[in-house]
């Protein structure tokens, strides 16, 4: 195997980074995952083409990470910035009055929320989000299934939530997206429950 000089430096840098991560203390590792949370919930699209496939809501799984170094649009100690990515997916067979098909959406949002004063151990919060959602799948048009291409749409929305202690939280979001000639959009309500590590 032949290595050039740049390849050797790359390998040396990777080994140094791996060694630093392995030798880091447990407190150092805890700082890396501070602000990381796992999320699960439902996406209920508001547009008719997606609702024909998604009866009540498409189940979703995702991650959220708080970003203390990102400049906040609104300053203050109660404002928090984070980035979240969720994957919603549902598949439905055609039958009766329902159209069959596959619906998938991946909303990737930058969130900014204001946390209010604690009340009985719980802290409510409210905020807004901006980002992009990738949507696609396939649908039954009466003559068979047609592929719906994956399209990215820009959008934003509002967030209302509650922190239960320091680890668990739940939030309701409503997001609007640019249609951008897409058959499916992720526009609608999302109910999300999360757990911080």
**Do 153 and 189 lie in a common domain?**
yes
Residue 74 and residue 6 in one domain: no
pLDDT values of the chain reduced to their tens digit, one per residue, 197 residues: 344 445 556 655 666 665 555 555 444 445 667 789 999 999 888 776 666 677 777 889 999 998 876 665 666 668 888 999 999 888 876 665 556 778 888 899 999 999 999 988 899 999 999 999 888 888 776 666 778 788 888 999 999 999 999 899 999 999 988 876 666 777 889 999 999 98
Asked if 14 and 100 sit in the same domain, the reply is no
Mark whether 160 and 76 lie in a shared domain: yes
Rounded alpha-carbon distances, angstroms, from residue 19 to 12, 23, 30, 102, 192? 10, 6, 17, 44, 37
Whole-Å CA distances, 118 to 35, 36, 58 = 19, 22, 32
Q: Determine the pLDDT at residue 62.
A: 92
- Say if residue 24 is in the same domain as residue 68: no
Domain that holds residue 29: 1-33
Cα separation of 83 and 112, whole Å?
A: 9
Say if residue 95 is in the same domain as residue 113.
yes
pTM for the model stands at 0.75
Same domain as 47, residue 25: no
Same domain, 25 and 118: no
In whole angstroms, what is the distance from residue 55 CA to residue 181 CA?
Answer: 23
Do 13 and 39 lie in one domain? The reply is no
Closest CA to 58 of 185, 194, 162: 185
Q: What is the pLDDT of residue 170?
A: 96
Q: How many domains would you assign to the chain?
A: 2
3-state SS class at 90: strand
Residues 95 and 7 reside in one and the same domain: no
Tokens (6 digits) for 178: 């640019």
In angstroms, the CA 13 to CA 7 distance is 10
Residues 10 and 58 in one domain: no
If asked whether residues 165 and 125 sit together in one domain, one would say yes
* pLDDT value, residue 91: 81
Asked whether 37 and 84 are in contact (CB, 8 A), the reply is: no
CATH number, domain with residue 154: 2.40.160.20
């Amino acid at each position: 195997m032949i290595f050039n000089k740049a390849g050797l430096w790359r390998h040396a840098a990777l080994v140094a980074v791996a060694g630093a991560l392995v030798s880091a203390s447990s407190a150092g590792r805890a700082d890396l995952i501070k602000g990381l949370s796992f999320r699960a919930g439902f996406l209920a699209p508001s547009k008719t083409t997606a609702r024909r496939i998604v009866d009540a809501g498409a189940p979703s799984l995702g991650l959220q990470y708080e970003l203390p170094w990102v400049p906040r649009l609104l300053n203050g100690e109660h404002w928090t910035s984070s980035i979240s990515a969720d994957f919603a997916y549902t598949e439905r067979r055609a039958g009766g009055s329902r159209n069959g098909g596959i619906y998938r959406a991946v909303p990737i949002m930058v969130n900014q929320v204001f946390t209010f004063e604690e009340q009985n151990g719980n802290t409510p919060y409210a905020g807004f989000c901006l980002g992009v959602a990738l949507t696609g799948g396939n649908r039954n048009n009466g003559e068979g299934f047609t592929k719906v291409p994956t399209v990215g749409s820009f959008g934003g929305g509002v967030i209302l939530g509650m922190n239960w202690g320091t680890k668990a939280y739940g939030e309701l979001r409503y997001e609007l997206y640019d249609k951008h000639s897409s058959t499916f959009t992720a526009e609608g309500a999302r109910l999300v429950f999360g757990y911080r590590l």
